[in-house]
Structure 1
Amino acid sequence: MLTSTGRSGPAPINVGAVVWLSSELMFFAALGAAALSLEGASPTGWPPPGAELNIPLAALLTVVLVSSSFVIHGAVGALERGDVRRFRRLLLATAVMGAVFVSGQAWEWSELGFGVTSNAFGTAFYTITGFHGLHLMAGLVAIGVVLGRSAAAGFDSSRTPSAQVLAYYWHFVDVVWIGVFVLLYLSP
C-alpha cells in the first residue's frame, strides 16, 4: 500500500490509530488491575452478596457486540471493493448492533440492585462498564460521521483510511468488552 507521501507501508493515520488505541488499552488495563486489587481485598467475596448480575443478558449482548466486529469488517471490505451501497448497509447494521448493546447495558443497569456507591464491586462495575459504554457511544458517533461522509456527493470509495481506523476502533471496543465480561461477569 502506498501512503500519501508515496512511500510503501501503512498509512500514517492507521499507525496513529494503533498507537492511540494502545494507550486506551492501557487505560482499561489499569481499570481492570484496580478491580482485581479490590477483588483480592474483598472480605465478603466477589461480587459480594446483593450484587447479582444478569449474566445471560450480558452473554447475549456480548454475542451481539462481537458479531458486529464481523459486520464492520465486511463493511470495510465492501468499501475496498468500491461497493459503497453494501458498505453503508453493513456500517448501519454495525451501528444498530452497537445501539442494541448500549441499550441492553442501560437496561441492565436500571435493573441491578446495587449502585456505584454500594460497595467496591459496584464502584468497579459501574466505572468499567460506564467507560466502555462511553467508548462504544463514541464509536456510534464516528459511524454516523463516516456514514454521512459516504452519502456526500463526490465520495471516493478508494480513500478508505477513515473506515479502516473506525474498524480498528470498533474491534478494540469489542475486544475490551470480552475482557470486561470475563473480569466482571465470569470471575468467581
Structure 2
Amino acid sequence: MADAHHKNHDYHIIDPSPWPLVAAIGTFLLCFGGVGYMRYLSGGSFNILGLNLAQPWLLLIGFAVIIYVMFGWWSDTIKEGREGHHTPVVSLHLRYGMIMFIASEVMFFVAWFWAFFDASLFTGEAIQAARVEATGGTWPPEGIAVVDPWHFPLYNTIILLLSGTTLTWAHHALIHGDRRGLLQGLTLTVLLGLLFTGVQAYEYYEAPFAFKNSIYGATFFMATGFHGFHVIVGTIFLIVCLIRAARGSFTAERHFGLEAAAWYWHFVDVVWLFLFFTIYIWGGWGAPLAETGH
C-alpha cells in the first residue's frame, strides 16, 4: 500500500506556524509605538481608550517582537532547507518573494524622494502645508547650513561602493569553492557596513539643522535615516550569513540566503547613490556649508 502521506509534487506545504500572527501583532505595536514616541519627543499626548501612549516603551516592545519573529521565522526557513524541502520550485518562489520585497522597498524610498522633491521644487506650497515659518521661497530654506556632500557623505559613498565589491568577492569565492575568500569578503563587508553606520551617526550628531521645525530637516532625516536603518538591517543580514558561512551552511549550489543578502545590500548601495546625488549635492546646491561656513 502506498504511503498516504507520500508527496508527489515539488511544493512544500509548511506546518501550521504562529509567525504571521506574531508578526502582525509586532507590526501593530511598532506602528502605534512609533506615533506615540514622536508625540513623546514633541511633548504631546497620544490617547487611545483612555491610555496615553506618548512614551517610548510601546515602540521598544514592537521592535523586540519583530526581532523575535525574524529570528524564529527565518530559523524555521533555514531548517526547512536543511531537511530538503527547498526543491527547485520552492527555491524559485523564494527568489520571487525576495524580488517582490525589494520592489516594495523601492516604492518605499520613492515616497521619500517624492516628498523631498515636492518640498524643494514647490517651496511655497510645502511650507504652507507643513505650517513652518516662511523661508524666502528658496531651497534649501534661508538660514539652513547644509552638510558638506564632499565630507562625510562622500566617505560613506566610498565605503558602500567598497562593501559592494567585497560582497561580490565573497559570492564569487563561494561559487568557486574558496571558503577562505568567502569568509574574508563577508567579514570585510560587515566591517564596512558598521563603519558606514558609525560615520552616519557622527554626521547626524554634527548636523547643523534639526528634524523638527524645518521641512528641509524633516525630509533630509527621513530619507537618509530610513536608508541608514536599512544599512543596519542589511548588516545584521550579512552577520547571520557570516555565521552560517563559518559553520559550512552554504555550498556552491545551495546558498540562496547569501544571494538574498547580496541582492538587498546592492539595493541599499544603489539607493544611497541616488540619495547622495539628489539630497546631498543637488538638494544643498548654493547653500552655505556647515563645515566651511560659506
Work out whether the TM-score is over 0.5: yes
What's the CA shift for 1:118? 3.5
Distance in 2 (CA, whole Å) between partners of 1:184 and 1:34 is 11
Match of 2:280 in 1: 185
Match of 1:133 in 2: 228
Distance in 2 (CA, whole Å) between partners of 1:62 and 1:72 is 15
Distance in 2 (CA, whole Å) between partners of 1:178 and 1:6 is 34
| Unaligned ranges ≥5, structure 1 | none
Matches within 5 A, 1:52-131: 52-57=146-151, 58-131=153-226
Over residues 132-169 of structure 1, what are the superposed CA-to-partner deviations in whole Å (9 max), with x where a residue is unaligned?
011000011111111111122x5342321111110000
TM-score normalised to structure 1 length: 0.90
More helix by share: 1
What's the CA shift for 1:40? 1.7
Identity across aligned pairs (percent)? 32
Q: Residue 19 in 1 paired to residue 100 in 2? A: yes
Alignment: residue pair count? 184
Matches within 5 A, 1:165-180: 165-180=260-275
Task: Provide closer, same or farther for how the CA distance between residues 37 and 6 of structure 1 changes in structure 2, counting only shifts above 3 A.
Answer: closer
User: What RMSD over aligned residues (CA atoms) do the two structures have, in Å?
Assistant: 1.9
Match of 1:143 in 2: 238
Which structure carries more relative contact order (alpha carbon 8 Å, separation 6+)?
Answer: 1
Distance in 2 (CA, whole Å) between partners of 1:74 and 1:88 is 10
Q: What amino acid does structure 1 have at the position aligned with 2:107?
A: M
Of 74, 87, 94, the match for 1:5: 87
TM-score normalised to structure 2 length: 0.59
Task: Provide closer, same or farther for how the CA distance between residues 100 and 156 of structure 1 changes in structure 2, counting only shifts above 3 A.
Answer: closer
What's the CA shift for 1:30? 0.9
Distance in 2 (CA, whole Å) between partners of 1:5 and 1:109 is 46
